[in-house]
Amino acid sequence: MSIFWQRLREQRAALVAAGVVALLVLVALAAPLLTALEGQDPTTYHPDLIDSARGGVPVGPFGGISGEHWLGVEPQTGRDLFARLVYGARVSLGVALAATVVQVFIGVAVGIAAGFGSRWVDQVLGRATEVIVALPLMVLALALLAVVPGGFPRPVLVALVIGLIAWGGVAKLVRAQTMTLKELDHVAAARLSGWGSVRIARRELLPALAAPVITYAALLVPTNITVEAALSFLGVGVKPPTPSWGQMLTAADVWYQAAPQYLLYPAGALFVTVLALTVLGDGVRTALDPRAESRLRIGTGRKREARA
């Protein structure tokens, strides 16, 4: 673990990305406190701040920015944009993380069972995984979200749908790693000593699978954020009045000319979040790579030669 942190600290871009991600998570967790400091909430309408004669454009400069509304208000409704943005971070990040946990749990279980089980188990689970990977995620998610009753908590439903139909990549990765690991001497010795499959998987396989699974999971989070935003943008994701960045983008589609900041705030938040998580995920991959130390040393030596 100390080697991992040492390698991660050598990557400045990853450290900056980690700081950005930590700040975003802190903002999401502290959303009630931040909105209380502002004195607003994400659902209250302010019709007095909307110019109905102009079609619902916010009154005042820059979309109604003031001491009471730090980022202005939403066109046509007057809801506070800052409150909706920080609460939207809770939904977007929470759905993405929850979906990633579901994907990793199912993918690891299926991958280990396929790679460590008998030939017919491997064939059955392998075919099932191939079907899951081949399914179009967005089309299937749209179909499932459209038929579920509206009383089910929407953020939980979106996370479950994404997780249940997008675990194939994790399963394929874990199966390939398991096929290699089960041929190693310490795993063979455990089998000869009479250990059961569950004990071998828990004691011998899971610790060795941690690095590739964590790396893959770190790259899944930004993908899931994008999927959640796309589903909300299409109107089948998180429903009003619960705020999410994708939902804000949907509502801003008709206001980007009259109130461009209404579109720029959620789009900018999505861009920064996905970029930071992608850079951090790549940094984690490099830090967990056993070949990273030699590459880092080579790069450092070249820099020193160039400076000399």
Three-state secondary structure readout of 80-104 = EHHHHHHHHHHHHHHHHHHHHHHHH
- Whole-number pLDDT of residue 78: 86
Q: Higher model confidence: residue 302 or residue 67?
A: 67
pLDDT of residue 5: 79
The DSSP output letter for 42 is: S
User: How far apart, in Å, do the first and last CA atoms of the chain sit?
Assistant: 34
Task: For the chain, give the percent of residues with pLDDT over 90.
Answer: 27
List pLDDT tens digits, range 269-299.
989 998 998 888 888 878 876 554 434 444 4
Asked if 46 and 66 touch (Cβ cutoff 8 Å), the reply is no
Handedness of CA 147, 153, 155, 160 (dihedral sign): negative
Compute the average pLDDT of residues 184-199.
82
For the stretch 119-139, pLDDT in tens is: 899 999 999 999 988 888 888
Tell me the residue type at 65: I
Number of C-beta neighbours around residue 94 at 10 A: 17
Q: What is the mean pLDDT of the segment spanning 240-249?
A: 82
pLDDT category of residue 54 using cuts at 50, 70 and 90: confident
Using CA atoms, how far apart are residues 114 and 129, in angstroms rounded to an integer? 10
Distance CA 189, CA 204 (A): 11
Crossing angle for the helix pair 119-134 and 168-181, to the nearest 10 degrees: 150
The per-residue pLDDT for range 80-124, each reduced to its tens digit, is 999 999 999 998 899 999 999 999 999 999 999 998 888 899 999
What pLDDT does residue 202 have? 85
- The pLDDT assigned to 1 comes to 63
**Closest listed residue to residue 139, CA positions, set 54, 227, 57:** 227
* Tokens 């830090």 belong to residue: 287
Single out the residue of 1, 21, 2 nearest to residue 282, CA to CA. Answer: 21
pLDDT in the model for residue 241: 79
Q: Is the pTM of this model over 0.75?
A: yes
pLDDT given at position 299: 44
